[in-house]
Structure formats: structure tokens, C-alpha cells
Chains A and B, each alone.
Chain A
Amino acid sequence: MLLEDVPEGDCLVVSLKEKRLDAVIAASFREALVERIDQGQRNIVLDMTDVNFMDSSGLGAVVFILKHLGHKGRLHICGVTPGVMAVLRLTRMDRVLKTFETRQAAVAA
């Protein structure tokens, strides 16, 4: 699994460089993000531009990260492709996870 970290403002932008966030990589993805949070990153922007498929394991990992941050920080998501948005809407998680059209908007919010 390939992640790319870029600090921007008070955020860490984490780009998932995979086509699929699914059961195959969900656990390692979750652990990698938790590691960043536990090292002190409080404001995470997850850039999902390259991801065109997500299953409930992948979604569960994102939810875990949101809960792990709790009130200590924020999780913003950008680059949501139609395939990922379809699953967010299907599960109604689009009402909970904060998504933004652009990376700049996600960092600034």
C-alpha cells in the first residue's frame, strides 16, 4: 500500500496511491493513519483522488480514523471519485464524513 504525505498549513495531506481501498489493504491503511495520529498529527486531509473503489472494510477503516481522532482533531476528505461517493451515499456515511471538492478547500476548512 502506498501513501504519500504532504504537510500543508496545519494539516497533513495523506494521499492514498491505490485504486482500491478494500479488505485487502484496510487494516494496513488504518494502522498507517493511526500511527500518524499517534505521532501528533491532529488535522488529517485524506486525498482519495486515485481511489475508485471502496468496500465496507475500507469505509470501516476511515470511520475508525475519524473516531480515533475524536475531538482532538479533524478528518477531511477530498478527491472523492464517483465510485467512492456511491458507497458513501449507499451507507449514508456522506452525512458524517466531511468531503470537499478540492484539496485546497479541505485544507482551508
Chain B
Amino acid sequence: MDCPEPLHLVVPATLLDARAATERVVKLCGRFDTEERARYGTAVMEWLVNVVKHSYCHAAGARITIHALVGPDAIELMVEDTGLGMAPWKFDAAPSEVLFDQTDIASLPESGMGLAIIKSVMDSVHYQTEHGINRLTAVRRWER
């Protein structure tokens, strides 16, 4: 089966550019149905927004590098930034599902759901920070 060409983007670290980059990546996911494409797109957007807001703190001139590789069995995504990053242990410790008490409306989360979404959508996800480069690598198989 023919696979789309790899995608390589270097984009400004803004929310608008995160949105546009997410759309570019999701276009590679024609093998997913509508709902799976939405879940995957949300996971990608979550990480890019995380980089814009928390790694770069909206710094002007900052850039995000995005690689997406479509293979016969999976799509692999790599996102790099050179911002503050986060401690890898903190990434690893984040829950892999959004947790809340559904009987207590006041306790529902309004933020902090991003990492759980990423971990629940991707089949494998790895985050590292090395030599000033923060790198997220995430693999999602076409079939689960």
C-alpha cells in the first residue's frame, strides 16, 4: 500500500500555527474513521498547545519542529521544541485517562487533560529532553 510522503514542518509557536499544523498532520490520517481522526487530531493539538503555552510561554520567535511519518501499520509523530520543556518524570507520571468524580460537578477538570488525552490516544508515547531539545515521539497504529 502506498503511504503519503513524510511531513516535515517548522512552524512558529503560536496557537494559530498549532491549529494549522494539526490539520496538516491529520490530513495524513485518511485510514482512520471520522471519530478516530478527531481523537488523533485532538492529541496532536494537545501537545502543540502544551509546547506553545508551557514550554515556550508564548515567546515570540519560537519554533516547533514536527515530523510525521506514515507507515503501513502506524503513523509516527515527532515534535521538538527548545523551550523550557518539562521534567520527563512528570510526563511519565501523568495519568493515561481523564479522572474525575462525575457526581461532583464542582470538581470537574477545566484544564490539565492534555497529557491524559495524548496517552490514551497513542499506542506508545515517549518524551525526553536532551541538550536543550525537548522531543515527544508518539506512535499510533492504524488498527488496534
Q: Tell me the number of A-to-B contacts counted with CB atoms below 8 Å.
A: 90
Q: Is the CB of A67 within 8 A of B108?
A: yes
Contacts of B106 in A (CB 8 A): 67, 70
CA distance A71 to B70 in the complex (A): 48
Q: Which residues of A contact B49 (CB under 8 A)?
A: 22-23, 55, 57
Contact B19 A22 (CB under 8 A): yes
A23 touches B45 (CB 8 A): yes
Q: Complex: how many Å from CA A66 to CA B98?
A: 18
Contact flag A53-B41 (CB < 8 Å), given A66-B105, A83-B34, A91-B117 = yes
Q: Within 8 Å CB of A87, what residues of B?
A: 38-39, 42, 117
Beta-carbon contact of A54 and B108 below 8 Å: no
Chain B window 22-38, contacts with chain A (Cβ cutoff 8 Å), 1 for yes, 0 for no: 00000000000011111
- Whether A86 contacts B35 by the Cβ 8 Å rule is yes
Q: Is A63 an interface residue (CB 8 A)?
A: yes
Chain A residues near B121 (CB-CB < 8 A): 90
Interface size on A, residues (CB 8 A): 30
| Complex partner residue of B15 from A23, A52, A86, A90, CB under 8 angstroms | A23
A63-86 toward B: CB 8 Å interface, digit per residue (1/0)?
110110010000000000011111
Pick from B38, B97, B100: contact of A86, CB under 8 Å: B38
Report yes or no: A56 in contact with B35, Cβ–Cβ below 8 A.
Answer: no
A87 to B113 Cα, complex, angstroms: 11
CB pair A24–B15 under 8 Å, yes or no, is: yes
